[in-house]
Chain A
Amino acid sequence: MVTDEYILSSDNLNVYYGNFQALANVSIKIKPNIVTALIGPSGCGKSTLLRCFNRMNDLIPIFSLDGSIKYKSQELYDDTTDATNIRSQIGMVFQKPNPFPKSIYDNVAFGLKINGYTGNYDEAIENSLRRAALWEEVKDRLNKSAIGLSGGQQQRLCIARALAVNPEVLLMDEPASALDPIGTLAIEELIRELAGSVTIVIVTHNMQQAARVSDETAFLMVNDNRAGYLVEHDYTDKIFTNPSEERTEAYITGRFS
C-alpha cells in the first residue's frame, strides 16, 4: 500500500458529540479514483467519519473534533476552509433517497444553479443522468416530479444530482440499504462504473456489498468506551481472504457483529 497521493486523510482524528466520544484516534488514508468501503458493527462511527469528510457534521451543534483531517493538502477544519466550498467538491449520497419534491430536471439542475454553472444546462443534466445510469428511464419525463420514481431510481437521481456539481469525491452513506435487491444491484453496478472517474467512499452494513464494490476496505470497531476506532485498512481482497487482524476475521466470518 504505497501511494504518495491521497485524496482524503485523517491523522489521530477524535470526534465528539458533546461529552460523548464517537471516534478515537482514527488515521486513515484514502486513495483517489477507487472505491473505499467503511465497514464495522453498528455505532462504530463509520457514518460519523464519512460526514467529517464533507463537514456535514457541522450541522450538529454539539459536534467537535481534534486531530487532522485533510482533503488533498487542505486541512478540512481550518478556519480558512469554507464548508460550503468543500461540499461542492465532495458530494454525498444518503441512506434514504432524498430527492427534492421538484421535477427530475430541477433536481439535477439544483447543484448547477447554486454553484453558478455557466455551460449548457440540458447537456450537463443529460450527462449527469447518463453517468448515473438513469437517463434512458427518465429522458421522456424530465419535467415530472421526482417523487413518482421508484426508490432505486430516486437514489440514482440523487447520485446524478450529486454528480452534476462535478465533485472529485462521492461519499455514500449506506446508499442501498433502503432499496430492494434490484435497486441495490443497479446501485452497485453504478458504483463500479463510476470508480475511476470519481473517488468513492461508501459506508455499508452489508459485507458482501463491500466485497463486491470496493477496491479497499477499512474495518472499524467500537472500544470499551463505545468510541469507534480503525482496526485495519487494506485491499478488499486481503481483508476478506486473509486479514491481518483476528478481530477483522471474526467480524467478516460472522463470529460477532
Chain B
Amino acid sequence: MIKNILKKENYNQNLNSRYTKGKLYFTVFFTALMIAIIGLAILLFQIISQGTEMLSWTFVSSYPSRFPEKAGILSALVGSIWLMGLTGIFAVPLGIGTAVYLEEYAPKNKFTQFLEINISNLAGVPSIVYGLLGLAVFVGALNMGRTLIAGALTMALLVMPIVILASREAIKQVPYSHREAAYALGATRWEVVRSVVLPSAIPGIMTGAILSMSRAVGEAAPVLAVSALVYLTFVPTDPFDRFTVMPIQIYNWVSRPQDGFRELAASGIILLLVLLLSMNSIAIYIRSKYQNKSEE
C-alpha cells in the first residue's frame, strides 16, 4: 500500500473569499441584465406614452395622409403582411431543403465546407447590400419592377441563411442513434429523413422560420432599395403590385417636422412591436409544445 502523504492542515478552503467572489460576479451579471432591461423599458415607455393617443382603428384602417389626424398605416401594414407571407413561401422551403441536403446528403468535402462557411458569412452581410442586389437583379435584370414579388425575393435571400442555420442546428440535434435505428429496420435515406429526422427537428425548424419572418418584417433597408415607395394610397392585392412596409412608413413619419407625425410614428412602432412579439411568442409556443410532447 502506498502511504497517503496528504495532510488536513495543508488545505485552506478559504470559503468566505470564495463566496465573496461569487457574489461579486453575480452582481456584475445582474447589473448587465438590468442595464439591458432598463434601456428597453425607457424605449418602450417613451413610445407608448407618445403613441397610444393616435393608436385607434382609424389609424390601422386609413391610408397615409398629409394631415396627421387622418393618416393611417393600412397600406404599409398590408404590405408588410404580404411581404412576410411571400418571403416565407420562398425562403422557408428553400432554406429547409438546403439544410436537409447539407446535413443528410452532402458528402463531407472541401466544397461543402466552403458552402457551409459562406452560408454563415451571408447571414452577416448588411441588409442594404441585399437591397441593392435585389434592385439590380430582380427589379432590373429580371424586369419584375418595384413589385412585392421582387421585394419578397430580395427578402428571401436575406433571411434564407437564418432559416438554413436554424434548420441545420435542429437537424443536428436529432440523435444519430435514431437514424441508425431506422436504417437497421430497412429504411431508405429518404425514409430516415422524412420519418425520423424531420419530425424531431420540426420545432427547431419552425422556430427558425418564424424568427426569420419577424426579421423580414422589421427590415427597412432592402425594401427601401427595391420599393422606394412611401406614400401609397392603395392596398396591394397581388404579388405584382407596388408596395410599402411598416418600417419605411415609420421612418418617413419620424423624419417629418410636425409633432403629429412623431406620434403617428410611435403608434406605428407599437403596432410593429405587437406584430413582432406575437410572432416570437408563436415560435416559443411551438417549441415548448413540441418539447412537452416528446417528453410525455
We find that the number of chain B residues with CB closer than 8 angstroms to chain A is: 23
A162 to B294, Cβ gap below 8 A? no
Knowing A94-B180, A98-B177, A98-B178, say if A114 contacts B185 (CB, 8 Å).
yes
CB neighbours of B182 from chain A (8 A)? 100, 110
- Asked whether A205 is an interface residue with its Cβ less than 8 Å from the other chain, the reply is no
Chain B 172-202, CB-CB to A under 8 Å as 1, else 0, gives 0001011011111111100100011001100
B185 to A59, Cβ gap below 8 A? no
Chain A 86-119, CB-CB to B under 8 Å as 1, else 0, gives 0110011010101111100000001101110000
Q: How far is the CB of B5 from chain A (nearest CB, A)?
A: 31
CB neighbours of B107 from chain A (8 A)? 61
A101 to B195, Cβ gap below 8 A? no
Chain A 145-164, CB-CB to B under 8 Å as 1, else 0, gives 10110000000001001100
- Asked whether B108 is an interface residue with its Cβ less than 8 Å from the other chain, the reply is yes
A94 to B177, Cβ gap below 8 A? yes
* Overall SS of chain B's interface: helix
Q: How far is the CB of A16 from chain B (nearest CB, A)?
A: 19
Q: How far is the CB of A109 from chain B (nearest CB, A)?
A: 11
Q: Choose from A56, A85, A144, A161 the contact partner of B183 (Cβ within 8 Å).
A: A56
Bound-state Cα–Cα, A148 to B107, Å: 36
Knowing A84-B188, A85-B186, A162-B184, say if A96 contacts B295 (CB, 8 Å).
no
Knowing A61-B107, A98-B175, say if A111 contacts B185 (CB, 8 Å).
yes
- Asked whether B296 is an interface residue with its Cβ less than 8 Å from the other chain, the reply is yes
Q: Choose from B181, B186, B296 the contact partner of A98 (Cβ within 8 Å).
A: B181
Task: Apart from A61-B107, A111-B185, A114-B187, list 13 A-B contacts with CB within 8 A.
Answer: A54-B184, A56-B183, A84-B188, A98-B178, A98-B181, A99-B181, A100-B181, A100-B182, A102-B199, A110-B187, A144-B296, A145-B295, A148-B296
